[in-house]
Amino acid sequence: MKLLTIFVLIITFSKNYSQTNNIKYVHFHSSNSSVIDSGIDISIYHLEDNSVDVYVETFNSKKKYKTTSEKFLELSSAIIKINPKDVIHDEKNCLDGNDTEINFASRYTLPENIVKYSISCLGSEDKNTAWKDYLIAVNLILDIAKLELKDLK
């Protein structure tokens, strides 16, 4: 009986541990209302075969990359660390009209089950504000897409 109880506990804990980070899809969008054709779209898919596809679309190009599962796991962990209360924290006004948006889901086949975070006027100076975790996730997305924060302006 003790052996059965231990076995059930091990299975339960391993199942719960494996489900702590089950993001399979991340989409990032950035645009600047004061700059025509400034939109950037990045879609990242963690596929069933454990490969990760990255699609980057800007005004003048469309590219596809592969990245590692480790980088995707690092990104997923960073996204999970974002506190929703911090995202709605509004502490500055800006004139440039830069908007960023991170969408993520545990499955990429059901778009209605997507979580969305959106921040306007994000900049490198936000590393010391309530938006720091969001900025970390954005920088990881941009790194995977072979872009930089300055490319969003």
**Is the pLDDT assigned to residue 4 strictly greater than 60?**
no
Domain 23-152 has CATH 3.30.1560: yes
Bigger pLDDT: 133 vs 87:
133
Checking if the pLDDT of 100 tops 70, the result is yes
The whole-number pLDDT of residue 109 equals: 65
The helix/strand/coil state of 127 is helix
Q: Give the helix ranges, DSSP H, for the chain.
A: 2-18, 69-81, 84-87, 132-144
Q: Where are the domains of the chain?
A: 23-152
Number of other CB atoms surrounding residue 90 within 10 Å: 11
Query: pLDDT at residue 1 above 80?
Result: no
What is the residue whose two structure tokens read 């979580």? 115
- Residue 96 CA to residue 79 CA, distance in Å, equals 25
Pick the range with the lowest mean pLDDT from 10-14, 110-114, 127-131, 148-152: 10-14
What's the pLDDT at 91? 63
SS3 118: strand
pLDDT in tens, 6-24: 444 444 444 444 444 689 9
Please give the pLDDT value at position 5.
45
* Rounded Cα gap, residues 137 and 145, in angstroms: 12
pLDDT bucket at 123, cuts 50 / 70 / 90:
confident
pLDDT at 88 over 60: yes
The predicted structure's pLDDT at residue 51: 94
Q: Does the pLDDT at position 28 exceed 50? A: yes
Under DSSP, the state recorded for 104 is: E
